Chains A and B, each alone.
Chain A
Amino acid sequence: MTTQTTSTTVVIRPRLDLRAPLIRLGYFLIGLAILALIWTVLAAVRSDLPNLATVGGSLAELFRNPWYSNGPNDKGILNLLLSSLTRVFAGFALGAVIAIPLGILMGSVPVLKRICDPIVQLLRPVSPLAWFPIGLTLFQSAEPATVFIITITALWPTVINTAFGVSNVPQDFKNVARVFQFSRAQYVARVLWPYALPHIVTGLRVSFGIAWMVIVAAEMLSGKSGIGFFVWDAWNALNLPHVVSAILVIGVTGLLFDQLFGWLERRVSYV
């Protein structure tokens, strides 16, 4: 029954369908319009808030020369953004390097899970900013202390999700591995890891989202560089259009990275 179809396997590429993304974009624009309307009303009622035109002008001004650098305390907006991102990625990467192995251990050794779980639950709800003094004490400098609190932040969602993924391999898959006598290495590479990977990536996505939120606050505290420093600096100079511009830049950056992680999630998803 197969002989006539053995020659070629036709690869059908799905045609690029732009309808769904366009519809999504449409809804996004509607949402933005509503937000702009609310802000306009707010700015009309409270004249101390900058209106959209002022914010637009401020953004244009910031992006006219986004990479300039006039010494450590006066840099272009993208330069500031880059220094924030560098810090977030350093802390996030360090967090992931600790969290993924720890999560795998917790997920595969039940005793370890029972020991670590209460600790994770105890530390998870603590605002990462509370760790800042500990970081300062440990490293005697604001820069590594900031990376330190981002690491702490990035830890929990990844640990929890990795442990969940690793410990929840469905019995069906385990039975397949048992019946066909998969070796330990084969089980890890072909069953455990592919099953846990989407959970791990989801954990990383959540971790990154929180880390990006925390970095702004951390930089406001540490006050040397970065987008959070910029916000605080602008507030001290009573430059509210810059504050609102920074909020937009922070939001768009966070959105872009979330989309990136979302894409990564779909890449590793096996469904």
Chain B
Amino acid sequence: MDLRYSAEEEELRRSLRAWLAGVLRGLPQKPRPDDWDARRRYDMGWQRLLYEAGYGGVDWPKDAGGRGSSPVEQLVFLEELQRARAPGVGVGFVGLLHAGPTIIAEGSAAQRARYLQPILAGEEVWCQGFSEPDAGSDLAALKTRAVRDGDDYVVSGQKIWTSHAQVADLCELLVRTGTEGSRHRGITWLVMPMDAPGVEVRPLRTIAGSSEFSELFLDEVRIPVANRVGAENDGWRVAMVTFAFERGTAFVAELLESMELMRLLAASAKESGIWDDPCLRQRLGSLAAELDALWALTRRNVSEASRSGVPGIGGSVFKLAFSELRQSMADLWMDIEGRSALVWGEPADMWVNSLSRTIAAGTSQVQRNILAERVLGLPKEPSTRTLEG
């Protein structure tokens, strides 16, 4: 075991630091959270800067236009971005972390040529049309129907929890092409242009008052068959290929930000005098110890991915632990602020949003099933086995 970075890794760190120090000074003002057009411009502008400096797709393979860095180098990259308070991936999330890697893994040469470069260059925004009102944790129950008509699929149905739909150009869409009960075996992965006739976006308001999620209503949307990634009815596997990657390093920035938050809370508690409360110190210490452990776990995951090329089990362990930790951190911050926390801002925003952690991207209950079944090898629950036939 070795936690020291190699000379090449440190060199990457140095050059990144130098570049960040220069480029961050020229960034425009951060947009308001509900001004989606401005957010798109800001996030895509940042991605463009990364792209022009050769950091557009650090973890993407070279032949896909990326930098081809090792997972450890990617970790250095994420660490330095966070340390410099650089913008996050923002509305580029689905394209860079999910749709792009899926097309790299499963797309045709023509699809790779069409879709990858605009993601890296910050020209096209992607959203995800997977969940449906009746297909959440049980994603394989999705019903949005695609019927072949000549060179097109005609798609009708409803999607939900689609992030950034109001500013997206393209949607990675899972549709039912098999029979009604075909579940995993009857799903197809399509690229849907968001400006196609029949696509209607209705933003949802979250309990935090924000509007990053939308519902998509699809009414006989014509999608060319050429937009299909992978074979018909093989979309489940296509989608799952990259789910594991999504859980690999997706939370690094937030983890480092959380560790920074613990330092800030300690500093402000010392200033205000509440540091004298041993209960508060112990809660902070406990959370910080767990964050340190998750940082160690992250480095273990990344090391495993560097060796084997595939992220290991650590991603699911991390997701489960970190979601609950974020909630405990937000609780602590709220307690520290007392009645001041009733005024909307931080920590109220973090606190309310932390409730989504144990629901989004696989509820904590589903995560526990995944760990128990795929890592520990425990048998599936009988009722789901019956359902999956």
Chain A complexes with chain B = no
Which residues of A line the B interface, CB within 8 A? none
